[in-house]
Amino acid sequence: MPQTITTSTDDRAVVKAKILELNRLALDADTRMRASLKVSNTASAYVWRDRRDSYNAESKRLTDWLNAPAPRPVPAPTPVITPQPAISSNDFITTTADAFNASGGSQDYAHNAILKALLDGEYSSSSIPANDAKAAAYDIVRQNNGSPLHWIRNQAQSQALNNSLPHPGSADQRRFPTLNTRGLHAGETFFIRDFMQVYSSGNITIGNLMIVDDTVYSEFAQDFNRLVNSINEYQKQQGRPYRVFPFLRMAHRDAVQLIPGISDGINQFGGAVMNNVSVTGNLIYSDGALQGVFATDGAFRNLHIRSNSLQIGGEHTISINGMLSGSILGNTDINNRPLADSKIALYPLRLGGGANIYVLGFSNKASIRSTDARYYQYEAILGVPATRDFRQQVIPNGTCYRNVDMVELLTLLKGQYPQTPAQWQAVMVELSQRGFAQVVS
């Protein structure tokens, strides 16, 4: 969208075509909303209503621009040399697109750059009133790009969060008519990264929360997407193949992410264990690429994910790496139907983060009993069919090991403190050479 008035025929033709497209999308969304209401699917109707209103708002903005009177020609002013801003809008588009292309189309790079530009610019702390309902969400990500809206480290913090949140109103019940929202605690519907990260050694219950992600239809998301569109248009002009995904498809957004805390000097990347955690009775909903209950690093003993209602637009509804024991049972979609098996996945313990080292099986010393905290073994997970249990299957593009002695591994890690993927690979090679792991070719 041009930033100034122009009489260019080409520009006006493009805007007119965009307005027609938006009007068509708004009409289609309105039709779908009414169809959903006819079958009493209120949740779907709310989604289509929000989309319709978003399309109409953008159409009106473009129409207002199109109908604005063109300025009268004025004599060119005498050139005056003035200081230039550090970076202009066009500079941001070209430099970000160039770096995005050089990175091989890294979505993370482009998305992080766009977030920083917005949060340092029109959504900066000086531009957003302190009493704005979304101010905290902006501040958190402005200070640390990967921070969640809520950190939970113990049961007291989990309970305090519940106590601070209101109960859903009648509008929420109408939005999810087949679910009983009474007794839930309604979380904020605007969050840029994760809603919650549980960073703890365990003994926590995350329960009775309503986590609804309306961020994807917010003004912030629309501004994010305008920068996306400008970058993609520049990419197209340059004949480049890579395109930036819109906010709706932004990765690394989780409703509930589980991360084991540091134990005996070992963090989640070295296989630290989270014990005795329950995620139960929550409602999680998003049209975007939000992930539901998610964990990629560390191990999880006695983890129970039960009686939640989940529907998301992302790939991972319930996805856990390194689950040693527990259950995933009684979960439903937002229409109160049993959650499809395809929405659940278990993967091997991952070591080294981006080193992508996976443990397909363990070897425990005879002196270590199953009740010992040092005991690692994949047990059957109640409620998860064998077809969705990939914990002992080779992971593509990863380095996989069997018969891993975690006690010996942890001893090596404490002495070497690997940081890079190459250092992690070297540790595993040494562990194999000592006879405490077997690489899977």
Distance CA 15, CA 10 (A): 9
C-alpha span between 195 and 26 (Å, rounded):
29
Q: Which residue in the block uniquely carries the two structure tokens 């975690």?
A: 406
As a whole number of angstroms, the distance between CA 143 and CA 153 comes to 20
Q: 345 in helix, strand or coil?
A: strand
pLDDT string in tens for the chain (441-residue length)? 333 333 455 567 767 766 776 787 778 767 767 776 776 666 556 656 766 776 677 777 677 766 765 444 444 444 444 343 344 568 999 999 999 999 999 999 999 999 999 999 999 999 999 899 999 999 999 999 999 999 999 999 999 999 999 999 999 999 999 999 999 999 999 999 999 999 999 999 999 999 999 999 999 999 999 999 999 999 999 999 999 999 999 998 999 999 999 999 999 999 999 999 999 999 999 999 999 999 999 999 999 999 999 999 888 999 999 999 999 999 999 999 999 999 999 999 999 999 999 999 999 999 999 999 999 999 999 999 999 999 999 999 999 999 999 999 999 999 899 999 999 999 999 999 999 999 998
Tokens of 421: 């993927």
Q: 3-state class of 257 per DSSP?
A: strand
Q: Note the pTM of the prediction, 2 decimals.
A: 0.79
Residues linked to residue 98 through DSSP beta bridges, in sequence order: none
User: How far is Cα 349 from Cα 390, in angstroms, rounded to an integer?
Assistant: 10
In degrees, rounded to 5, the angle at the alpha carbon of residue 342 between the alpha carbons of residues 338 and 348 is 120
Residue 30: in which H helix or E strand, if any?
helix 9-38
* Rounded alpha-carbon distances, angstroms, from residue 217 to 171, 214, 225, 248, 278: 18, 6, 11, 8, 31
Tell me the sheet residues that pair with 347: 321
CA 287 to chain centre: 12
Q: What is the pLDDT of residue 25?
A: 73
Neighbour tally for 174: CB within 10 Å: 13
CA 337 to chain centre: 24
Phi, psi of 362 (to 5 degrees): -120, 160
Give 187-255 as a DSSP string: --S--SS-SEEEEESEEEEEESEEEEE-GGGSHHHHHHHHHHHHHHHHHHHTT----PPPGGG-SS-EE
Residue 424 φ/ψ, nearest 5 degrees: -65, -40
Quick check: helix, strand or coil at residue 439? strand
Do residues 319 and 291 touch, judged by C-beta distance below 8 A? Answer: yes
Q: Is the dihedral of CA 151, 157, 159, 163 positive or negative?
A: negative
Question: What amino acid occupies position 132?
Answer: D
Q: Which amino acid is at 195?
A: F
